[in-house]
């Protein structure tokens, strides 16, 4: 396993003590004893099972009763605890005892819609009764329902609700998250969503990649004018988003209830010309 820099506090970098006790080697449970100042490692995790992801051996490259050392924010050593080249406190300034917990690489959630107002629990009940996603959307629910509540929410409300969702992901070991806009569908509301995503990236200890999804749906008031709305995306939304440095990528929804192939191509081509990576929502409701 090639040593790599952990990107957040879950899994491979377990700074928050969420999966392990720490205790003083000489002072009982509840503390941390530091090694000598000249020790080569900053932190040593021991009494831990490691999912190394090595292709050989046990599934997930499992290494039981292992140890993992960190120096300058990077994995400096890992292996069986019995193979440590010295006593833990002689090797590291800080020793943490995992009491047999598992340590895994950080998880990546590559597609999320974390920032939105309101909720759609009523639609879940409709789905249980047999309604399809498309039927709900054409009746004014789905994306457009959330667009209405998101437009009404303040930036602070969007931030705090998204923060709670981010923290739930973090508690499950996620260290990298992609966050899309797409529930504003006006210049200002899309910018506001992406601004919230950037704030989360600064304020929460995860890596957050932001994606502009102005082409998520034809917004209320634009029925029959999807081509004109695409003009707005290309000529006003994308330039503003790029100018303010709010997005790492752009996305678009290719479906009968959203945008045509030509419209999606226009949006994503413009995004690439402006230096953004591109993604695509497609084949959600039908193949091809």
Q: Are 241 and 191 in contact (CB under 8 A)?
A: yes
Q: Are 189 and 240 in contact (CB under 8 A)?
A: no
CA distances from 143 to 60, 138, 149 (A): 38, 10, 10
Q: pLDDT for 70-96, tens place per residue?
A: 999 899 999 999 999 999 999 999 999
Q: Is the pLDDT of residue 27 over 60?
A: no
Q: What is the mean pLDDT of the chain?
A: 86
pLDDT at position 16: 37
Q: Is the pLDDT of residue 138 over 50?
A: yes
Q: Which residues pair with 92 in a beta bridge?
A: 41
Is the dihedral angle over the CA atoms 56, 60, 63, 66 positive or is it negative? positive
Share of residues in the chain with pLDDT > 70 (%):
86
Q: pLDDT for 241-283, tens place per residue?
A: 999 999 999 999 999 889 999 999 999 999 999 999 999 998 8
**β-strand pairing of 92-97 with 249-254:** unpaired
Q: pLDDT for 155-196, tens place per residue?
A: 999 999 999 999 999 999 999 999 999 999 999 999 999 999
pLDDT at position 39: 55
Q: Are 80 and 48 in contact (CB under 8 A)?
A: no
Q: Are 90 and 36 in contact (CB under 8 A)?
A: yes
pLDDT at position 121: 85
Token pair belonging to 243: 């100018």
Output phi, psi for 247, to 5 deg. Answer: -130, 145
Q: How many residues comprise the chain? A: 288
Cα–Cα distance measured from residue 14 to residue 194, given in angstroms and rounded to the nearest whole number: 28
Sequence-ordered alpha helix ranges (H) in the chain: 88-91, 121-128, 133-138, 143-152, 155-171, 187-203, 226-232, 238-243, 261-273
Picking from 60-64, 100-104, 108-112, 138-142, which range would have the lowest pLDDT averaged per residue?
Answer: 138-142
pLDDT at position 24: 29
Q: pLDDT for 208-246, tens place per residue?
A: 999 999 999 999 999 899 999 999 999 999 999 999 999
Q: Bigger pLDDT: 253 or 40?
A: 253
Q: Are 65 and 97 in contact (CB under 8 A)?
A: no
Cα–Cα distance measured from residue 236 to residue 186, given in angstroms and rounded to the nearest whole number: 10
Neighbours of 118 (CB within 10 A): 15
pLDDT at position 175: 95
Q: Is the pLDDT of residue 23 over 60?
A: no
Cα–Cα distance measured from residue 160 to residue 207, given in angstroms and rounded to the nearest whole number: 18
Cα–Cα distance measured from residue 205 to residue 197, given in angstroms and rounded to the nearest whole number: 13
Cα–Cα distance measured from residue 266 to residue 269, given in angstroms and rounded to the nearest whole number: 5
Q: Are 179 and 150 in contact (CB under 8 A)?
A: no
Q: Is the pLDDT of residue 12 over 50?
A: no
């Amino acid at each position: 396993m090639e040593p790599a820099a952990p990107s957040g506090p879950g899994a491979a970098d377990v700074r928050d003590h969420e999966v392990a006790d720490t205790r003083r080697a000489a002072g009982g449970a509840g503390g941390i004893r530091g090694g000598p100042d000249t020790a080569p490692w900053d932190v040593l995790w021991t009494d831990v099972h490691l999912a190394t992801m090595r292709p050989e051996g046990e599934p997930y490259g499992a290494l039981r009763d292992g140890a993992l050392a960190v120096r300058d924010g990077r994995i400096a050593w890992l292996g069986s605890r019995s193979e440590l080249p010295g006593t833990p406190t002689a090797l590291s300034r800080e020793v943490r005892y995992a009491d047999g917990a598992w340590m895994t690489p950080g998880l990546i959630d590559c597609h999320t819609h974390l920032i939105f107002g309101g909720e759609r629990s009523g639609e879940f009940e409709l789905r249980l009764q047999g309604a399809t996603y498309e039927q709900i959307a054409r009746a004014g629910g789905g994306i457009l329902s959330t667009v209405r509540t998101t437009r009404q929410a303040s930036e602070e409300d969007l931030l705090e609700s998204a923060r709670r969702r981010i923290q739930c992901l973090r508690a499950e070991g996620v260290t990298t998250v992609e966050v899309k806009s797409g529930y504003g569908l006006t210049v200002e509301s899309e910018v506001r969503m992406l601004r919230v995503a950037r704030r989360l990236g600064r304020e929460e200890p995860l890596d957050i990649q932001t994606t502009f999804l102005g082409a998520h749906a034809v917004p209320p008031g634009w029925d029959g004018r999807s081509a004109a709305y695409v003009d707005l995306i290309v000529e006003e939304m994308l330039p503003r988003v790029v100018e303010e440095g709010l997005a790492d990528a752009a996305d678009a929804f290719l479906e009968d209830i959203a945008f045509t192939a030509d419209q999606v191509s226009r949006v994503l081509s413009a995004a690439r010309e402006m230096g953004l990576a591109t993604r695509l929502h497609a084949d959600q409701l039908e193949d091809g």
